[in-house]
Each structure stands twice: as C-alpha cells, then as structure tokens.
Structure 1
Amino acid sequence: MPLIQFPILMPFLYFPNDKTEYLPAILTMIAFLIVAILAFILIKRISKKQEEKFNEEYGSIIQENKEKDQTNKN
C-alpha cells in the first residue's frame, strides 16, 4: 500500500533568515503583555475597593446572620 502524502496544510508560514524581522512581532507581543498585566492589576484594585465598600455596608448584617446560624445549631 503506497504511503499517502499529505499536502502542506500551512503554506502561509514564513520563517525569515534575517532574524531582525522578528523584532516588530516581539515588540507588539511585549506591548500587549504589558497592557494585559496593567488591566489585570487595575481590575484587582477595583475589585478590592468594591469588596471593602460591600463589607462596610453589609458586614454587620452578615455577622449577625452568622451568629444566628450558630445559635440555631446549638
């Protein structure tokens, strides 16, 4: 049985001999990575502020409910 030869499925791949052609892609990747990290930090800070605000407003109610649950179990 002859071996079936598959056509190259990705003829669009291009690996340059001159490695300086990689610089724009590397710089773009680094820029997007920095923006992603900054967005992550910003989201964490906003989430922390919202959690503190929630605990200020509803912390006493949550604590009371926990105490009621503990007394009901005993």
Structure 2
Amino acid sequence: MNDTTERPALPDRLSVDPSSKYHVRAVLEHAIGIRFNDKERTDVEEYCISEGWIKVAAGKSLDRKGRPMLIQLKGKVEVYYV
C-alpha cells in the first residue's frame, strides 16, 4: 500500500456486507482498526459511531441467506486507519 494515496474519510456508519446501503468499497480497500470500549476488535461486521454500537457474529449461527447472525453491542466506538 502506498502512503501517498489519499484515503477517503471514515463514515459514521460502515458495513462489510456488500448488499448493505452502508457498504463503502473505497473505505474498505484500506486497513481499518476498530476500538470498542478501549479494546481492539477484529470481528466487527458493522459499526455506527454516533449511535455507539457495533454488530458482531453470534457464534456460528447463520440466517436463512447463509450470512452470520449478528448481535449488537453498545459502547464507545473509535475507528481509524491502520
């Protein structure tokens, strides 16, 4: 990765699911770090900074479309480029 390239601003809400309206491919092309309640998280599927929540997979259960079932956790969310 070239550090001279311009990175897009991090959105308030972002999802890794391509079918979501909150999926922003330009942002996800870069490495993103997420700190939730002062702990690093690597399993986040979706986040919202202003509302203070993240969504993570709930074990190995899948929904009817084969995607992981998600649970929402509330707390302090910090997002940054790595």
Q: Would you call these one fold, judging by a TM-score over 0.5?
A: no
Give the TM-score taking structure 2 as reference length.
0.17
The structure with higher relative contact order (CA 8 Å, sep 6+) is: 2
Bigger strand fraction:
2
Q: Which structure has greater helix proportion?
A: 1
Q: TM-score if structure 1 supplies the norm length?
A: 0.18
